[in-house]
Structure 1
Amino acid sequence: MDTPTHELMSALASMFDSGKYADLTIVTANTSYPVHRALLASRSSFFEGICNNAFRESETGVIDLSQDDPEAVEHMVHYFYHLDYLNKPLSRRSSQRSARSTSPRTPCFPTRRRSKKSKLALIEDPLLAMLSAATPAPSVPRMEQPDDQDILDVSAKLPDTPMQDQFTDDPFEYVYNTEPKADVEQTHLVTHAKVYAIAEKYGIVGLKSLSRKKFSDQIQTHLDSEELPEACQEAYESTVDTDRGLRDIIIQAFRSNPGLSSRKDVEVILRETPGLAFELFRMASGLPVTS
């Protein structure tokens, strides 16, 4: 991500964190979010309709979403200002640090400890380093070799480990160690299904596409998750039959992994979710899933 983009994203994050210039409030069952109507109206057909027409919400400045899942609303609002969700918010400090780390004057090296000599060789001008490497080393007068006893005496006085002053911290270590790390272990299949549903409900095309991708990526790596059956049920119960965004992903997962149907927890969900059970029956029978 280039510097102008970081600057824009940092500004949006700052607007959300501070609530400055907010002219709408989204209210859920347990919290409220000061938001900006210009931003929401440009990203959502639902919010655009509210802002452009004489609805009560437009007059009062309060949009009541208390009937929606609070977690899904939270991720939706987060997406408006960060273009993502379930990630670490971008702060102005991290934006400046990222821009500094990608500057052509600041080389990026992996985080590890180096000796002083090797660090100076890396930080100095590359052309000077090349010239230095190509220049023959000056001749050094041959010194008288010590005898074996002298070598043993000196070796006995040296510590077993390198001396502390031979090493120092990498000047770029702070840049790497403070960057957020992706959470690849935890499963969020149900959350992605809920976010997909709320994105469809409020006409947020980008969020719907993003949640579908996240759901697809996780269902491939978390087939054994205890959350999988609930996520399948959530996807089928929160979307209409004609919305194939998540349903096709689920059917393909069962088609590629026939053993899923024999899981006890999956069997319980199939009994409670007729739409999924019917489509899996048609798939097993070699019939088209959708007519």
Structure 2
Amino acid sequence: RLYKSDLFSDLTIICGSNPSPVHQAVICPRSDYFAAALRFPGKEAEEGKIDLSVEDPEMVERMIYYFYHLDYLPTSYNRRPNQGVLEIHAQMYAMADKYQISEMKDLAKAKFEAAMRFHGGYKLLPHVVPIVFTTTPDSDAQLRNLVARAIALDNLLRLKSFRGAVEKIDGLSLAVL
């Protein structure tokens, strides 16, 4: 009920044209980033607003949905037909890393792996490789290893799209080896 209502909301997440009223008691226990932003004196704590305008509004909407439901919906908010499920899971993983939402990060990894296995995601890997290898720190190899393993085990380097991805993305060729 809280997700659908702004009753008792005490924080606003701003992204795009629609501010999202949320509840600190729901958001902060799930995200160390938001907890820290609101715990210490500063603009966010004083105004009760966190500006995420640099993010994709659809991804922020998915993140907020996750806070309340402990899941996110990969397709319900998808207004861009070329945005694939693997891309959404990779972006949610990166967002979870950035905003320190460890359980969402684990969920995104599991959904990413399942999509690769059960939904023919291997064909979509050329589009997701740049996201996986550029949106998380080099020290975080969880999705990178899944992608590299898929490329190596299925000999996807024989495909022109994968050879191009290997040449352009730092760290991918080493991960595949």
With normalisation by structure 2, the TM-score equals: 0.88
In structure 2, C-alpha distance between the alignment counterparts of 1:26 and 1:39, rounded to whole Å: 13
What are the residue-to-residue correspondences of 1:45-56 with 2, within 5 Å? 45-56=32-43
> Displacement of 1:263 after TM fit?
1.5
What residue in structure 1 maps to residue 165 of structure 2?
A: 269
Give the partner amino acid of 1:243: D
> Displacement of 1:82 after TM fit?
1.0
Change (3 A) 1:31 1:251: same
In structure 2, C-alpha distance between the alignment counterparts of 1:224 and 1:203, rounded to whole Å: 28
Give the secondary-structure state (helix, strand or coil) at the position aligned to 1:15.
Answer: coil
* Structure 1 position 21 matched with structure 2 position 17: no
In structure 2, C-alpha distance between the alignment counterparts of 1:30 and 1:265, rounded to whole Å: 36
In structure 2, C-alpha distance between the alignment counterparts of 1:202 and 1:42, rounded to whole Å: 12
Q: Which of 59, 64, 69 is the matching residue for 2:51?
A: 64
In structure 1, C-alpha distance between the alignment counterparts of 2:17 and 2:170, rounded to whole Å: 32
Identity percentage of aligned residues? 35
What residue in structure 1 maps to residue 80 of structure 2?
A: none
Deviations 1:111-146 (A, max 9, x none): xxxxxxxxxxxxxxxxxxxxxxxxxxxxxxxxxxxx
> Displacement of 1:232 after TM fit?
1.6
Q: Which of 132, 135, 145 is the matching residue for 1:238?
A: 135
1:220–1:253 Cα contact (<8 Å) kept: no
In structure 1, C-alpha distance between the alignment counterparts of 2:165 and 2:57, rounded to whole Å: 24
What residue in structure 2 maps to residue 83 of structure 1?
A: 70
Work out which of the two has the higher radius of gyration on C-alpha atoms and give 1 or 2.
Answer: 1
Give the partner amino acid of 2:10: D
Unaligned runs of 5+ in 1: 1-13, 90-185, 284-291
In structure 2, C-alpha distance between the alignment counterparts of 1:262 and 1:216, rounded to whole Å: 22
Aligned-pair Cα RMSD in Å = 1.9
1:236–1:275 Cα contact (<8 Å) kept: yes
2:133–2:170 Cα contact (<8 Å) kept: no
Give the partner amino acid of 2:46: E
* Structure 1 position 197 matched with structure 2 position 94: yes
What residue in structure 2 maps to residue 251 of structure 1?
A: 148
Aligned length: 170
Give the partner amino acid of 1:237: T
Give the secondary-structure state (helix, strand or coil) at the position aligned to 1:25.
Answer: strand
Unaligned runs of 5+ in 2: 77-82
1:187–1:218 Cα contact (<8 Å) kept: no
What residue in structure 2 maps to residue 37 of structure 1?
A: 24
